[in-house]
Amino acid sequence: MAADWIAVLDEDGRISSAQRIDSPNFDERPDGCGVDLIVIHAISLPPDQFGGPGVEQLFTNRLDPAEHPYYASIAQLRVSAHFFLRRDGSLLQFVPTTMRAWHAGVSSWRGRERCNDFSIGIELEGSDSVPFRAEQYDRLAGLLKRIRERHLHADICAHSDIAPGRKTDPGPCFEWARLRALLACA
């Protein structure tokens, strides 16, 4: 696994090799709240379609509800994630890891509510019905390695783990064993 492309996670919580697109959908973490969790998500906009600008538009409050029928139901949402990993492995960063992104919604991890307070959200371009690509696993493993260099004890979980019954992502096509193997090689 080549994690060198990730470069460095700087003091401000930015990955130097990521394309920076600032989302307005974030705020300060509560006092004394560090990063204890990394949440893996999957998203595609429109659903099951890849490569378009929909996710960027959603995370920057520019999604046009007239562009696709599904968009009318979500255009008013104010959401974000720290990172978005496209199908080709390219990485976008919307929120510094030092800040609280709005990715988890109503959530709980090991008895702690409000997972946004203490987590980093990574969205993979994907869905419940399509396998993820090798480039995504490789880049995800490299990104997780960099994040865990700073946050040594951060758990890694699925969005479905912190919001069971409400969320299914990253879904049944996500290969956790493959990710664990890549992380073990890091």
Closest C-alpha among 167, 144, 169 to residue 154: 144
In degrees and rounded to multiples of 5, residue 179 shows phi and psi of -65, -45
Which tokens belong to 144? 């997780």
Strands 83-85 and 37-43: unpaired
Which tokens belong to 107? 């959530």
Burial of 90-109, coded b for 16+ CB within 10 Å and e otherwise, reads ebbbbbbbbebbbbbeebeb
The verdict on whether 149 is a catalytic residue reads no
- Catalytic entry in 123, 135, 149, 175: 123
Cis check: omega of the bond before 170, within 30 degrees of 0: yes
Report whether 27 contacts 20 (CB < 8 A): no
Q: Which residues are catalytic?
A: 123
